[in-house]
Amino acid sequence: WLYRASHVVTQAELDAGGNIVNTATVTGTKARSDSDDAAVSITQTPALDVVKSNTGIEDTNDDGLHSAGDAIDYSFAVTNDGNVTLYNVSLTDNLLGAIPLSGLTDQDGDTVADDLAVGATATGTATEILSQAQIDAGAVSNLATGTGTPPSGAPTSDTASNTVPITQTPALDVVKSNTGIE
């Protein structure tokens, strides 16, 4: 006789890693019985995806030029696109520092400080105030790095870069005057 059964793997089993062990026992008449184990190995595949975007340069002083003091607003999205929960999820930017994330949730959908459930996306925003050195350079380039720790193994990370071109508007104003003939 051949019997078949199936088991739906749970997120807790994926996060635990190792093997799922199933034991089948057959008991017959006259006190006969037999059992056998089958083990299925679980492969944990942690993965993180970071997306970074900006709204362009905001002319904060309304002078019609890209100048020091103008701002660039950035948006970030960090998605757990692996098959295990990620813990201690963080996002940093080489110019903006640590980026606070909202929307971090565990597998039950509960808000947590730094966990990211499979398929969930956390978001953050930050603003860069342009310096004269950045205006002189003609562009602002920066790199955001998201990191998360799977239930076992080394942390996983992803990066997203962004370059915002700056329109340089050189201008020179010459004023000439004289005092007349002496």
What are the structure tokens assigned to 167, written together? 């329109």
Tell me how crowded residue 86 is: count the other CB atoms within 10 A of its CB.
27
* pLDDT band at 31; cut points 50, 70, 90: low
C-alpha span between 99 and 158 (Å, rounded)? 15
What are the structure tokens assigned to 4, written together? 């078949």
Instruction: Return the pLDDT at 149.
Output: 95
C-alpha span between 165 and 159 (Å, rounded)? 20
Which pTM does this prediction carry?
A: 0.78
21 by Cβ neighbours in 10 Å (0-12 / 13-18 / 19+) ranks as exposed
82, 137 Cβ separation under 8 angstroms: no
What are the structure tokens assigned to 114, written together? 């730094």
Of 182 and 52, which is predicted with more confidence?
52
pLDDT > 80? residue 127? yes
97: left (phi over 0), alpha (psi -120 to 50) or beta: left
**Where are the alpha helices (H) located in 103-152, listed in sequence order?**
132-137
Q: What is the DSSP letter of 85?
A: -
Report pLDDT digits (tens) over 66-109: 999 999 999 999 999 999 999 999 999 999 999 999 988 777 76
Of 62 and 172, which is predicted with more confidence?
62
Q: What is the DSSP letter of 82?
A: S
